[in-house]
Amino acid sequence: MRITYFLLISLFFLAFSAYAQESGISGVANQAPPPEPYISISPDTFYTLEDMLYIEGRGDPNAIVTVTLQKQGTQPIKFTVKADSFGEWVIAEKTYLVAGNWEVRARQKVGTLVSGESNPRVIRSVVTGFTIFGFQVRYIVVAGIAVFFIAIIVGIFLYFRKKISLLKQGLMEKQLRETETRFHESFTEIRKNLMDELKDLAASSEGRTLTSGELDKRDRILREVEELEQNLEHDIHDIGRRSLN
């Protein structure tokens, strides 16, 4: 009798549980999910090599909030944070986002219940550099290094150009001095010969009047001396002008 009574009670509870689940009497099975969290602050433009990603929002108190960043063709990036007793939550992370537009959505978990995703917000990621061997290098740094090396190259070029110009000027000055010396030596020798001819002419005509032939000879010697001096001055001036060019 007792066994029959126990079986009847067990069947009654099983039937009641099935009826409660189907009719909505059970509060757990038909509890509504929490509302979507709200993203209140997110950057419009994010400089991924320079800035820290900062996203702020509100949800249910003490809820577990998952923020997902998605871009077509890339793996989603997720962050999880717990809301405080007022439902406020903040994400501040240093992360790398490839260039382009990223959609940001949030959902929260309260107990075992998970909300839907919030309305998306768009973040435009701007990459101001590149990654090499795991190191992030900014374009402005590369530009600075390039300008530095260009300045060094230009400086070296100007230095050697000045050096070559000074060497060239020194060689030209040396050549000019040697040329002047040779001209003066040649002029002195020729002038001496002409003056000796004049002295011989004067000695041979001492005490008498010069003949017309002797006068012509004297005039020719004087002309040759004058032309020699003019040609010497012109040649030295021409060499100096060419050395300056």
Per-residue pLDDT, averaged over 34-59, amounts to: 94
Q: What are the φ/ψ torsions at residue 17 (nearest 5 degrees)?
A: -65, -45
Contacts (Cβ under 8 Å, ≥6 apart) of 141: 129
Q: What does the pLDDT look like over 140-196, one tens digit per residue?
A: 777 888 889 999 999 999 998 888 888 887 887 777 777 777 767 777 777 777 777
Helix (H, G, I), strand (E, B) or coil at 206: coil
Residue 14 token pair:
């099983």
68 pLDDT band, cuts 50/70/90, is: very high
Reported confidence tier of residue 26, pLDDT bands at 50, 70, 90:
very low
User: What is the pLDDT, as a whole number, of residue 18?
Assistant: 54
Question: How large is the greatest C-alpha to C-alpha distance in the chain, in angstroms?
Answer: 189
pLDDT at position 24 is 44
| Residue 72 confidence (pLDDT) above 50 | yes
- How many CB atoms lie under 10 A from the CB of residue 39? 22
Give the span between the Cα atoms of 133 and 95, in whole angstroms.
Answer: 17
Containing 195, the helix (H) or strand (E) segment is helix 139-204
CA 200 to chain centre: 84
The pLDDT mean for the chain works out to: 81
Query: Which residues pair with residue 54 across a beta bridge?
Result: 92
